[in-house]
Amino acid sequence: MPQLGETVADGTVTKWFKNEGDTVKRGETLFEVSTDKVDTEIPAPADGVLTKILVAEGETVDVGTLLAVIGDDDLPETSTGNAHTSSSASATSTAPAPPVPEAAASNESGGHVSPVVRRLLAEHQLDANDVPGTGPQGRLTRDDVLAFVESRAEAPSATANGALSPVVRKLLRENNIDVSSVRGTGPDGRVTRRDVEALISSETGSAATSGDEVIPFTKIRRLTAEHMTRSKSTSAHTLMVKEVDYEHVEDVRRTQGAAFKEQEGFSLTYLPFNALATLAALRDFPHLNGSVGDDELIIHHDLNLGIAVDLDGSGLVVPVVQHADSYDLRSIARKIRELAAGARTKKLTVDDMAHGTFTITNPGPFGTLMTGAIINQPQVAILATDGVVRKPVVVTDGSRNEAIAIHSVGNLALTFDHRVIDGAYAARFLARMAEILQTRDWASEL
């Protein structure tokens, strides 16, 4: 299990993209691992054949646990220096093949067999002479051994291999399920998390009304639910909303948006403007860039801005722009886009999610009016940037004459922890943000 962050002690293998016996190339996606912070796709550390999967889908294991073995398929038994590559941690490691009984090392018709075949024979406690060979001169191949094992196998046992992962045991216990009633689909019939969830789904579905669909929570969905529930029970959530005139920002988007898109390859949205205005206002109101300790407010001097990213409805993650106040408008737009893309393609590490001090959630592209977001613990506030629309507003000229004009207007919705932040402080923060958005020389930053 790779080390995906300094605070991560274990991970759950959620998906294997290759099966035993498949050829893999160094760098191509081999498996997906889920932690309490992020889902990440892990590449193969070497070229070769995936000879053995040691940890099934749904199993949770400690960092450093051997997950799989990658070896060479057709090296002769007499070759020296043969090594099997293990997909563990973040680097390639080697280990000698386990000892194989002499009887399994060769077959009468075909002579010596490859290391992969030797390993398969040993794993299934077979003698090479018992398996018909279809290779050159009757030599045993990997497919011969697998076909022989399959032909003599009985229906997979739910308790095959004995071991059940902590996740599987927890699901069985919580749902009062006897493991013998679950058909295992993992290696050697091992019961996986998906096997248990499939059984739960089928049982729940049979009791549901016609047409109902039951979708078991994924790990990221469960973790999101737990985090949100814990936050609501921890913080004294209070919502405050400020209407902002975005016409000054809109002028920049209107005049420079096309050139920006041509240069960068994506549109100039309101989010980077809101991000920089947030960071500038946090410098003036630092208590909002803090976290709650033991009867204390911890004010962070680094401004590490989290941006909530929706994973197509399966959950939320919050990648973090570290030292975000060092970015200008163009560079923070690039960074936010890069982190969001990495989150959705599962290319981020736990460290990309760490050390956030303040969070923005951005439902605005969907035209929302007002969002009461849930605080990202242990932070003390979260800002929702809602939809910007064209609407009539009252404007004044230099002589304080009033008129009606059509401007771009939107809401900033701040959810804050009233245990440590008072309403007046939050209101002044929002007023400062509005002032920055409405007066800053944004054009010069592009």
Q: Count the neighbouring beta carbons within 10 Å of the beta carbon of residue 268.
A: 23
For residue 416, give Cα distances in angstroms to 92, 377, 383, 422.
Answer: 46, 11, 9, 9
Query: Do residues 252 and 387 both lie within one domain?
Result: yes
Whether 228 is covered by a domain: the verdict is no
Whether 227 is covered by a domain: the verdict is no
**What token pair was written down for 347?**
């290319």
**Which CATH number does the domain housing residue 441 bear?**
3.30.559.10
Of 123, 152, 181, the position where a domain reaches its end is 152
Whether 58 is covered by a domain: the verdict is yes
Torsion of CA 430, 234, 217, 384, to 10 degrees: 0
Q: Count the neighbouring beta carbons within 10 Å of the beta carbon of residue 434.
A: 18
Whether 2 is covered by a domain: the verdict is no
Whether 221 is covered by a domain: the verdict is no
Q: What is the pTM of this model?
A: 0.64
Query: Do residues 247 and 366 both lie within one domain?
Result: yes
Please say whether the beta carbons of 14 and 34 come within 8 A: yes
Whether 334 is covered by a domain: the verdict is yes
What is the predicted pLDDT for the residue at 76?
38
Query: Do residues 308 and 393 both lie within one domain?
Result: yes
DSSP tally for the chain: helices H, then strands E: 9, 21
Secondary structure E strands in 257-398: 290-292, 297-299, 305-307, 309-310, 316-317, 320-321, 358-361, 381-396
**What token pair was written down for 109?**
């018709």
Query: Do residues 259 and 394 both lie within one domain?
Result: yes
User: What's the length of the chain?
Assistant: 446
Task: Provide the domain count of the chain.
Answer: 3
Cα–Cα dist 394/400, whole Å: 11
pLDDT tens, N- to C-terminus, the chain (446 residues): 887 766 677 788 888 999 988 999 988 889 988 876 677 888 888 899 999 999 888 888 878 888 999 987 544 333 333 334 444 333 333 334 344 444 344 555 445 666 667 777 877 777 787 787 776 667 777 777 777 776 655 434 444 445 677 678 878 887 888 888 888 877 677 788 778 888 877 765 555 557 677 777 777 787 788 889 999 999 999 999 999 999 999 999 999 999 999 999 999 999 999 999 999 999 999 999 999 988 899 999 999 999 999 887 777 899 999 999 999 999 999 999 999 999 998 888 888 999 999 999 999 999 999 999 999 999 999 999 999 999 999 999 888 899 999 999 999 999 999 999 999 999 999 999 999 999 999 999 88
Q: Any idea which residues carry the catalytic annotation? A: 418, 422
Please say whether the beta carbons of 1 and 11 come within 8 A: yes
Of 152, 172, 205, the position where a domain reaches its end is 152
412: DSSP letter? E
Instruction: State the residue range of the domain holding 439.
Output: 236-445
Write the DSSP assignment of 23-48 as a string of letters: EE-TTSEEEEEE-SS-EEEEE-SSSE
Please list, in sequence order, all residues whose beta carbon lies within 8 angstroms of the beta carbon of residue 336, skipping any fewer than 6 positions away: 271, 272, 275, 307, 321
What is the predicted pLDDT for the residue at 313?
75
Strand partners, 417: 237
Query: Do residues 250 and 334 both lie within one domain?
Result: yes
What is the predicted pLDDT for the residue at 155?
38
| CA-angle at 213, arms to 31 and 56, nearest 5° | 20
Query: Do residues 145 and 177 both lie within one domain?
Result: no
Query: Do residues 306 and 393 both lie within one domain?
Result: yes
Q: Which helix (H) or strand (E) holds 201?
A: helix 193-207
Cα–Cα dist 34/18, whole Å: 17
Query: Do residues 21 and 160 both lie within one domain?
Result: no
Query: Do residues 178 and 200 both lie within one domain?
Result: yes
Query: Do residues 254 and 339 both lie within one domain?
Result: yes
Of 137, 152, 167, the position where a domain reaches its end is 152
Whether 231 is covered by a domain: the verdict is no
Query: Do residues 199 and 297 both lie within one domain?
Result: no
**Which CATH number does the domain housing residue 195 bear?**
4.10.320.10
How far, rounded to the nearest angstrom, does the alpha carbon of residue 93 sit from its chain's CA centroid?
A: 25
**Which CATH number does the domain housing residue 83 bear?**
2.40.50.100
Cα–Cα dist 99/297, whole Å: 59
338: DSSP letter? H
Query: Do residues 147 and 180 both lie within one domain?
Result: no
Cα–Cα dist 358/355, whole Å: 9
Please list, in sequence order, all residues whose beta carbon lies within 8 angstroms of the beta carbon of residue 261, skipping any fewer than 6 positions away: 267, 268
Q: Which of 329, 332, 331, 378 is nearest to 355 (CA)?
A: 378
Whether 433 is covered by a domain: the verdict is yes
